[in-house]
Structure 1
């Protein structure tokens, strides 16, 4: 399996080098067209349309480079400042926004050096494996042609069958080295692109403020929706039962002197109604903050939840302490939502849950062997998880290829307190 993974990663990197060469060749005409659009700016109307359009193409090319970098483990965030919301596509405000955004000029500055580096590294990543394949196939070609029409290696002509045999192990070695080096070359290319295409410190701060603004707005909306749900549940459930309970007790009081048997019957109904109201209130409280979470912490609460679901779910928790109540509650509810999604939508036969804490971050993973193909855009469950995590600067990562498996990875920055003597892990 490791050999297969290594070979697959190397071949993907070789293919990535070929793609990088093709994409990098587009950088040169793109730079020329963008500069022409900039030069046309003094022409009334034309520059105000051409430059925003070419910048849109430029940013699409830069976004593609960021996406390719992410495939080799180099994450490059988009650095662009928010654009004007009411200006037309070719309006002056949009034109001004493009020219005053430093990220635009950094994209332009990346085009030529980024293309040179990508082409050079792409050629190297292709040359090694191709040269190795040449060595492997050299002897059959030499036998077929019957001449020493070219050599292999460093000034190594083939004049005999024995010399031809030596090209085979050399070719295998060079092919292996080329495949092994290709991912590293792609990583170097991505790191170079990050120098130009990643946000600056000021841009990171601006993006951070924008992210916090959106996440806080989502949190306020979510809290308002939760309050409306609680109000609706109280009004339609427990409140209605309590009103009915009061009316029943009142009727029983009136019947005490006239019909004692009827009064006892009404009091029995009142007792049943009070029990039903108490159950509804308990369910409502559990939806706000489950008692098991307060009593047993996230470990015990997740295990209890796994036991309630109609699916074998293994639980492995290693937390050296407890997080603050709001963070712990958020962690519980995102885990509950993710585990419920497994039961409702995945078609899985088994699932696994793990919770770890390291370097100030709690990492929660829900893995299932279902059909895969999960998409946050097609349902509210995963989007709700992302919103709840964002309120605490957390993140969610989804891996769900068609055919499965599906892995939902959730991270929450937090500080744990009250360390336990030993972590708990096992099967729930």
Structure 2
């Protein structure tokens, strides 16, 4: 990480410290709102509706903290299981299901401790650099202007100027310490929130089962859609051309004795159609499993993708062996989709791809220095990558603030099938 990136990260953490103080006050308000809904819940209609709204507000506040953690590189997973099928949000059945969920009560339990931790750590995060700035610039300037107002010179050995010069190194120390500690304090606050807002082991198991059920259904749907696409391409492309070739050759057989010239012309057309059908078949095969991937492996295939990209792209790869063919294909198409998005939307000047395998986990990082703003919740490209990786129990994280950079991290557990000799 460059010095500029470190300073930017520290400034973001300081801004988050100010935001944490505001959110601490919001926690108190949300807690009071929920307690009011709880007290008035026995009141017919109005009490139940107020309690339902306050419960949803608490869950919204907890989700906001999880999104802040994800943006800061400290992701906190949602612990809520999917709602039973056919249950509408906000109904009495939905409220009963939410109230019986242990994660909901963990959200309530976090509000007050989260407010205290956010306020204390946010104040420390903000106070250190502000005090340092006062010592570096504001305090010496104020003392000098005060001395000049009363007729003292800048370098004249007065008490005011001496205090100003002594405050300068102290301010530098506090400013540097504040910039260094700001990301650590933010990480501490988010890890404290994770104790309450992250899923427990039992919740992890439930989410795991629900995730596998969903990914299994997505994988089956994706495979069926891929088979339909291949069948459609074969039917509309190569199969139609081969039927045309057969009809043309049959017509040439009838004309070969009566009109040899016309028969030769038909045979030439048949040969051209067979050549076009062969080209279409090759394109279709490349779409299923690219030959460069089979010949050169994931490293070579990614390098070939980078060379075809209009943006200068650096590839850093360390794979001591080959991956299983299905995993290799899924990662290749995922990287190809991200690189295509970079070429179309990022307006980047440079990009990079990092591929490494460590302790049974394949990690792929694709980034660019473009305009940022990528959102996995919008558009079908990133969602398609997520579905593709879900089939192998993989994950994808997108970090793309406005103004950039954009970093897409893909991870999946897999083994190397054939180590290099």
TM-score, normalising length from structure 1? Answer: 0.85
1:60 and 1:196, CA in 2 relative to 1: closer, same or farther beyond 3 A?
A: same
Measured in 1, the distance between the counterparts of 2:177 and 2:353 equals 38
Which residue of structure 2 lines up, in the alignment, with residue 327 of structure 1? Answer: 327
User: C-alpha distance in 1, partners of 2:134/2:312?
Assistant: 52
CA deviations on 1:66-97 (whole Å, 9 max, x unpaired) are 23333443221111232355445553312211
Q: Secondary structure at the match of 2:416?
A: coil
C-alpha RMSD of matched pairs (Å): 2.9
Partner of residue 224, structure 2:
224
Q: Which moved more, 1:115-124 or 1:404-413?
A: 404-413
Deviation at 1:320, TM superposition (A): 0.9
Shift of 1:414: 1.4
Instruction: Return the TM-score normalized by structure 2.
Output: 0.86
Contact kept in structure 1, 2:144 and 2:160, CA below 8 Å: no
Alpha-carbon contact 1:52-1:89 (below 8 Å) kept:
no
- Which stretch shows the higher mean deviation, 115-124 or 327-336? 115-124
Describe how 1:11-50 pairs up with structure 2 within 5 A: 11-50=11-50
Distance 1:255 1:392, change over 3 A: same
* Equivalent pair of 1:52/1:94 in contact (CA under 8 Å): no
Query: 1:45 Cα deviation (Å)?
Result: 2.3
The reply on whether 1:111 has 2:111 as its aligned counterpart is yes
Segment drifting more, 377-386 vs 136-145:
136-145
- 8 A contact 1:370–1:406 mirrored in 2: yes
Distance apart, 1:318 and its partner CA: 2.1
- Contact 2:79 2:198 (C-alpha < 8 Å) held by counterparts: yes
Quote how far apart the aligned CAs of 1:65 are. 2.0
Contact 1:48 1:91 in 2 (8 A): no
Q: Aligned residues, how many? A: 410
* 3-state SS in 1 of match to 2:323: coil
Deviations 1:244-297 (CA, angstroms, capped at 9, x unpaired): 111122222223343344333333332332222222222211211123322222
| Structure 1: segments with no counterpart, 5+ residues | 147-157, 422-428
Distance in 2 (alpha carbons) for counterparts of 1:252 and 1:213 = 57
Q: Is 2:389 the partner of 1:389?
A: yes
Deviation digits for residues 331-382 of structure 1 (CA, Å, limit 9, x no counterpart): 1222222233333444456544332222322223334455544444553222
Match of 2:343? 343
For residue 206 of structure 1, report the CA deviation from its aligned partner: 1.8
Which residue pairs with 2:269 in the alignment?
Answer: 269
Aligned pairs for 1:224-263 (under 5 A) are 224-263=224-263
1:76–1:194 CA contact under 8 A, matched in 2: yes
Taking a change above 3 Å as real, the CA distance of residues 186 and 344 of structure 1, as seen in their structure-2 partners, is closer
Name the SS for the 1:417 alignment partner: strand
Query: Are residues 246 and 300 of structure 1, via their aligned partners in 2, closer, same or farther at CA, if it must alter by over 3 Å?
Result: same
Structure 2 residues without counterparts, runs of 5 or longer: 148-157
> Structure 2 CA distance, aligned partners of 1:5 and 1:273?
57
Tell me which residue corresponds to 2:211: 211
Distance in 2 (CA, whole Å) between partners of 1:270 and 1:280 is: 15
With over 3 angstroms needed to count, the CA separation of the structure-2 counterparts of 1:378 and 1:246, relative to structure 1, is same
CA distance in 2, matches of 1:53, 1:182: 35
Classify 1:379/1:20 alpha carbon distance in 2 versus 1 (closer, same or farther; 3 Å): closer
Note if contact 1:117-1:189 (Cα within 8 Å) is conserved in structure 2: yes
> Hey, what does 1:424 align to over in structure 2?
none
- Counterpart for residue 78 of structure 2: 78
| 2:36 aligned counterpart, secondary structure | helix
Q: Deviations over 1:377-420 (max 9, x none)?
A: 55322222222112112223334455555443333321112112
Q: 1:335 to 1:252 in 2, by over 3 A?
A: same
Note if contact 2:71-2:399 (Cα within 8 Å) is conserved in structure 1: no
Provide the rounded CA distance (Å) in 2 between the counterparts of 1:405 and 1:74: 18
Does 2:177 align with 1:172? no
For residue 139 of structure 1, report the CA deviation from its aligned partner: 5.2
- Deviations for 1:18-77, whole angstroms, at most 9, x for unmatched residues? 222222123233223212212323222233212111011111111222233334432211
The structural deviation recorded for 1:239 is: 0.9
